[in-house]
Amino acid sequence: MTKTVRLLVGGPTSSWPHDLAQLSGPWVGADRGALRLVQLGIQPVIAVGDFDSIDATELKTVKQALTGTVAVKPDQDQTDTQLAVKTIFKQLQPDELVIYGATGGRLDHLLANLWLVLEPQFRPWAPKIKLVDRQNSVRFFLPGDYQLQKEADKKYLAFVPLMPTHLTLHDAKYQLHDAYNPYPISWASNEFVGETSHFSFDQGVVAVIQSCDASL
């Protein structure tokens, strides 16, 4: 059975999936994300951060609801999300880590979260990390040949080389054949043909995004 851990960080609640509160854990909260979990009636197993976005009373509320430990960020050389990811993989050893609240809001936070997997200390965990919000899911891949499964509520498919690579899209609506990109690029607005799609690349890291338009 796949062990999935869910992490809530401090991005805007408007970007959360509608069913976030119903998703099974274990859950980890980073900074304000820990407080928001408690407010949803979810007991985090770990709370991570410097907790500079919540006051002393709110932090006490988080600690009282915890079923596990508090990991306090020692300095500003790492983000709350980075510390949370490192703590989760070292302590909980998940097969999959799904992160919520990592998109929307401040662009500097978004870029830090997207580029986290490029750091050598995090890259081995990249295939296990997934970012999810109301419109998007982002998965990260290391070199190889892969088959993707279409998510039922998503229409669009994007391939985003984050490092130089040769990328082949075998059977998506718009195909590529050993396309070389020396810099990050988003091959956006592609689509599945059927329920699966195959792609391959030879080096670096590729992010794959399944997305849908915003509901009115």
Q: Domain limits at 201?
A: 135-216
* Residues 6+ positions from 102 with CB-CB distance below 8 Å: 9, 11, 81, 109, 110, 113, 131, 133
Mean pLDDT for all residues in the chain? 92
If one counts the domains in the chain, the total is 2
What average pLDDT score do residues 93-100 get? 97
Claim to verify: residue 152 and residue 119 sit in the same structural domain: no
Q: Which of 111, 134, 157 is the last residue of a domain?
A: 134
Domain identity same for 117 and 144: no
Residues 130 and 31 in one domain: yes
Q: When comparing pLDDT for 209 and 108, which is higher?
A: 209
Whether 47 and 66 have beta carbons less than 8 Å apart is answered as yes
Q: Do residues 107 and 166 share a domain?
A: no
Task: Say which CATH number the domain at 49 has.
Answer: 3.40.50.10240
**For the residues of 115-132, what is the DSSP string, one character each?**
HGGGSTTTGGGGGGEEEE
Q: Are residues 48 and 85 in the same domain?
A: yes
Work out the pLDDT band at 106, boundaries 50, 70, 90.
confident
Say yes or no: 6 and 110 in one domain.
yes
Residue 176 sits in the same domain as residue 113: no
Residue 216: which pLDDT band, with cuts at 50, 70 and 90? very low
User: Most distant CA pair in the chain: distance in Å?
Assistant: 57
The answer to whether 208 touches 159, Cβ cutoff 8 Å, is: yes
Q: Is 6's pLDDT higher than 90? A: yes
Q: Are 129 and 115 in contact (CB under 8 A)?
A: no
Pairwise CA distance, residues 33 & 25, whole Å: 14
Same domain, 166 and 107: no
181-197 pLDDT per residue, tens = 999 999 999 999 999 99
Do 144 and 82 belong together in one domain? no
pLDDT for the residue numbered 37: 94
Residues 86 and 107 in one domain: yes
Q: How many residues does the chain have?
A: 216
- Mean pLDDT to the nearest integer, 123-150: 97
Out of 75, 99, 134, a domain closes at 134
Same domain, residue pair 86 and 108: yes
Q: Among 71, 105, 134, where does a domain finish?
A: 134
What pTM was estimated for this model as a whole?
0.93
105 and 31, same structural domain? yes
